[in-house]
């Protein structure tokens, strides 16, 4: 069974996870006491493959919605709106989660008015939604790379897009300040994975470490649940 406990190990494993063209990019790290050791990134074909990994991940922070409003008419989740406001100029990268009606194919994408990025991500989102339950929210948390970078950058938003060189350099500087072995973790030979995907996964990994250490914050502060009992929140 996914996420089951195995034999006691001398370490725990946490991960930052983000969608990529070939599946899911997983940036894991072992935690032993105060030691934090990132491992080489890996691509998993499905979200279920991540859940079936052994040893199991203790904490996963994933760049995908967890918890959905029922219909498009209900608008945006509070967490999406509040994160967008918090990261300021980078708020355009924080897209509204689709409604559960769209996820369940009860409402067409065009009718729901989804942006192109969200529409493209629907197959990934459906994978996560299929496996999620309130029980699993003890281990699996929704994150967003821009929010993670906001926290990594001392509660200050990134100034430039990661699609341009200046934005890349900005993120490299921030990541290197938190990951001393940053250069050894990157892998430019992973099929279907860009450098910016790896930046995102590393930022989410840092948030996973914060969740593990009970240091992470939640947006919104006051919990909100969807109709299936899932918390609608984003951690950082």
- Residue 112 is predicted with a pLDDT of 92
Alpha-carbon distance of 92 to 124, in angstroms, equals: 20
Alpha-carbon distance of 203 to 167, in angstroms, equals: 14
User: What are the pLDDT digits (tens) for 72-108?
Assistant: 999 999 999 999 999 999 999 999 999 999 999 999 9
User: What are the pLDDT digits (tens) for 191-205?
Assistant: 779 999 999 999 999
pTM: 0.94
- Residue 7 is predicted with a pLDDT of 55
Closest by alpha carbon to 209, among 31, 27, 18, 42?
31
Q: 141 vs 32, 41, 145, CA distance in Å? A: 21, 19, 13
- Residue by residue, DSSP assigns 175-195 as HHHH-TTHHHH--TT-TT--H
Confidence of residue 2 (pLDDT cuts 50, 70, 90): very low
Confidence of residue 28 (pLDDT cuts 50, 70, 90): very high
Per-chain mean pLDDT for the chain? 94
Closest by alpha carbon to 93, among 15, 22, 150?
150
Cα angle 65-216-27, degrees, rounded to a multiple of 5: 60
């Amino acid at each position: 069974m996914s996420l089951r406990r195995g034999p006691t190990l001398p370490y725990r494993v946490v991960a930052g996870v983000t969608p990529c063209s070939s599946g899911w990019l997983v940036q894991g790290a072992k935690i032993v006491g105060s030691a934090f050791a990132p491992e080489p990134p890996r691509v998993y074909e499905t979200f279920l493959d991540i859940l079936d990994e052994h040893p199991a991940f203790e904490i996963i922070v994933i760049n995908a919605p967890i918890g959905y409003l029922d219909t498009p008419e209900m608008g945006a989740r509070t967490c999406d709106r509040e994160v967008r406001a918090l990261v300021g100029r980078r708020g355009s990268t924080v897209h509204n989660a689709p409604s559960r009606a769209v996820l369940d194919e009860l409402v067409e994408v065009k009718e729901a008015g989804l942006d192109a990025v969200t529409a493209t991500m629907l197959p990934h989102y459906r994978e996560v939604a299929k496996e999620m339950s309130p029980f699993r929210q003890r281990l699996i948390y929704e994150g967003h790379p821009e929010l993670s970078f906001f926290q990594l950058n001392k509660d200050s938003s990134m100034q430039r897009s990661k699609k341009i060189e200046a934005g890349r350099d900005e993120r490299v500087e921030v990541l290197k300040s938190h990951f001393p072995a940053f250069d050894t973790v990157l892998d430019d030979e992973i099929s279907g994975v860009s450098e910016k995907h790896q930046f995102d996964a590393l930022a989410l990994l840092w948030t996973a470490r914060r969740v593990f250490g009970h240091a992470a914050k939640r947006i919104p502060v006051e919990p909100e649940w969807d109709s299936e009992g899932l918390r609608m929140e984003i951690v950082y």
